[in-house]
Amino acid sequence: PSVSVQDGIIEASLPSGESVTVYLYGATVTSWKSNGQEQLFMSKTAHLDGSKPIRGGIPLVFPTDANPKLCIWQVFGPPPKNHATSSLPQHGFARNSTWEFLGKSSSEAGKGDVAVKLDFGLSHAMLSEEFRKAWPHEFGLVYSVTLTKDALRTSLQVTNEGKENFEFQVLMHTYLAVEDIANVRVKNLESKTYIDKVRNASTHTESSPALAITEETDRVYQGLDPATPIVVSSASDDQPLFSITREALTDVVVWNPWIEKAKGLSDFGPDEAYKNMICVEAGSVSAWQTLEAGDSWEGGQSIKSRL
Ligand code: BG6
């Protein structure tokens, strides 16, 4: 595998042609090419200069998913008024902090089984003063992006390096590229409970074995078995486009801004691009993970494309 590092952008590729690009800003995966095709959606008007979280690829959400504009707490249980994350921006600070590149490792298990792993780190001392104040915990994050011929894996290790417990949420906010949202179905959500953020954070049970996206969709599915893949498939031929398994991440957010919301997001473009994406976000967001002093937690996702 070859790896290049330039201007805060790390690119890795395999001899078989697959590649991945990661920006140190947010440790955001901005591109994953496999089978000669881009697999991740990137907004044409995304900010790539570190002025705003990157709209596309895989922004990493930590230590909170909270959207102060939504009364989502009413459902997930109110945090204390002075909860440690209450003064952080929506989706936390990981996606708008600059990470460090810790290095690469590659393995060649057998013929065609080449893998390259890129590791990124973020710690309390690396945060801006504003974020350090807003979340005064000593933490260490190691984010690993592993590219193989068949899959892209992203995993996060969180370590509590302080003397007190802290609580966190995490979300791998993956923007999958699709040709036409009308032809997309999301499978393996049937009978699962979800919070509908578009409908006042009300609770529902998924009735569809193959969810179609036909309007603004923003749902937090909870209590999923991480080993059961979420399959994004093509409706016309019932073929899988993506299959996502998780480790220690039992929630999955399904998000598409649809017409009006897409127009309202200044860094989402062109307006019609909502047809070319679906966010399937593996995470742990419906409850808080508590991490005791000295402990580590790890969670991740593995995405296979056009199987
Ligand atoms: C999803 C949330 O994870 O991210 C949505 O469920 C939100 O509510 C979307 O709109 C995009 O968030 P942002 O902060 O990147 O605009």
DSSP state of 105: E
Residue 90 Cα: closest atom of ligand 1? 14
The residue whose CA has the least distance to atom 5 of ligand 1 is 218
Q: What is the DSSP string of 43-97?
A: -TT---SSSS--SBSB-EEBS----TTS-THHHH-PPPTT-TTTTSPTTBSGGGS
pLDDT for residue 90: 85
Query: Which CATH architecture group holds 2-305?
Result: Distorted Sandwich (2.70)
Q: What is the mean pLDDT of residues 277-286?
A: 97
pTM: 0.95
CA 152 distance to own-chain centroid = 12
Burial category of 82 from C-beta neighbours within 10 Å (exposed 0-12, middle 13-18, buried 19 and up): exposed
Instruction: Extract the annotated binding site.
Output: 55, 90, 95
Cα of 81 to ligand 1 centre, how many Å? 23
CB 145 within 8 A of CB 253: no
CB 171 within 8 A of CB 218: no
The residue whose CA has the least distance to atom 9 of ligand 1 is 255
Instruction: Give every CB contact of residue 264 below 8 A, 6+ residues apart in sequence.
Output: none
Reported as a single tens digit per residue, the pLDDT across 214-254 is: 999 999 999 999 999 999 999 999 999 999 999 999 999 99
Least confident of 28-37, 109-118, 243-252: 109-118
Complex ipTM > 0.90:
yes
**Which among 107, 106, 167, 157 is positioned nearest to 135, based on CA atoms?**
167
Residue 91 Cα: closest atom of ligand 1? 14
Handedness of CA 23, 27, 33, 39 (dihedral sign): negative
Beta strands in 94-138 (DSSP E): 100-108, 114-123
Q: How confident is the model at residue 119 (pLDDT cuts 50, 70, 90)?
A: very high
- Per-residue pLDDT for 72 more than 60? no
Q: What are phi and psi of 96, to 5 degrees?
A: -125, 35
pLDDT for residue 83: 67
Q: What is the mean pLDDT of residues 260-289?
A: 97
Q: Which of 54, 91, 263 is the pocket-test mutation for ligand 1 (most atoms within 8 Å of CB)?
A: 91
Q: What is the mean pLDDT of residues 291-303?
A: 98
pLDDT for residue 147: 98
Cα of 195 to ligand 1 centre, how many Å? 14
- Segments making up each domain of the chain, as ranges: 2-305
pLDDT for residue 87: 77
What six digits make up the tokens of 114?
Answer: 């080449």
% pLDDT > 70, the chain:
92
Q: Which of 173, 219, 274, 285 is the pocket-test mutation for ligand 1 (most atoms within 8 Å of CB)?
A: 173
Cα of 298 to ligand 1 centre, how many Å? 23
The residue assigned the tokens 């393995």 is: 107
The residue whose CA has the least distance to atom 6 of ligand 1 is 218
* Binding-site residues, ligand 1, Cβ < 6 A: 67, 90-91, 173, 197, 218, 253, 255, 281
pLDDT for residue 282: 98
Q: What is the mean pLDDT of residues 280-297?
A: 96
Reported as a single tens digit per residue, the pLDDT across 123-150 is: 999 999 999 999 999 999 999 999 999 9
Q: Which residues are catalytic?
A: 173, 281
Whole-number Å distance between alpha carbons of 214 and 282: 21
The type of residue at 40 is L
3-state secondary structure of 293: coil
CB atoms within 10 A of CB 231: 20
What is the rounded average pLDDT for all residues in the chain? 93
Cα of 59 to ligand 1 centre, how many Å? 11
% pLDDT > 90, the chain:
88
Whole-number Å distance between alpha carbons of 143 and 20: 14
Whole-number Å distance between alpha carbons of 68 and 90: 7
